[in-house]
Structure 1
Amino acid sequence: MSTSNQRAPMAAVGSYESILPFKAIGLDVVVLTEENSESIAPVLHKYSRSGYAVLFLEEELFVKYRDTVDEINEYTDLSIIPVPNQKGSMGIGLDSIRRNVERAVGMDIFGEK
């Protein structure tokens, strides 16, 4: 049996303050500023085509680009995970998990929203 020590790469996209911890642990990061925040869709598609397994995306961006995120989650193996920024959580993570589980099993197994 062959084993591989190679792991699928992970990345983080967001403001400097929110993704700095991801850079500290060795993930690939893309720092977005006000000037380049509108160019996020090509960045997300690049990671989806490059064999990345997980992309951590700041919650505000996750909400703003929800259509692109949903498209990538639907048609690729890349998992886009929302993460809170320095302002705190918006509760998007649990909602995202609920939607993905509902899509996978065909019903909301978490009960009431």
Structure 2
Amino acid sequence: MIVMYKIGVVGDKDSVLAFKAIGIEVFPVFNEDEARKAVDKMAANNYGVIFLTEEYAAKIPDTVERYNNEIVPAVILIPSNRGSLNIGIERIHANVEKAVGVNIL
């Protein structure tokens, strides 16, 4: 049986609405409780990739951490429309270092 995973994005309305134009489901949230619930609901409903704005990732680190060691869903941090907090790039550096043994970036 082939499982078709969905892609979605969670964050403030201004940051996520553009994703709708390319066919990605958007979940605008207004606080960290809504963000946490949205990510958990998406994880339980066949979302293979969840884009989450860095702004909300910083507010719900426990939820992000819970999915770090899971294959599905992949929680990918993206900058909000207000700019980057560099959390996403730090995660990439940490994952490369874990995989290779040294930070080659």
TM-score range, shorter chain: 0.7 to 0.9
Give the gaps of 5 or more residues in structure 1: none
Give the gaps of 5 or more residues in structure 2: none
User: TM-score, with normalisation over the residues of structure 2?
Assistant: 0.82
Which aligned segments of 4 or more residues in structure 1 are displaced greater than 6 angstroms? none
Structure index of larger Rg = 1
Q: Which has the higher strand share?
A: 2
SS of the residue corresponding to residue 50 of structure 2 reads: strand
For 1:57 and 1:21, the matched residues in 2 are separated by: 14
Superposition RMSD in Å: 2.1
For 2:84, the equivalent position in structure 1 comes to: 89
Asked if 1:71 corresponds to 2:66, the answer is yes
Q: Residue deviations 1:80-105, cap 9 Å, x none? A: 11111121112122111112223334
Contact 2:77 2:88 survives alignment (8 Å):
yes
Asked if 1:8 corresponds to 2:13, the answer is no
Asked if 1:99 corresponds to 2:94, the answer is yes
SS of the residue corresponding to residue 27 of structure 2 reads: strand
For 2:22, the equivalent position in structure 1 comes to: 25
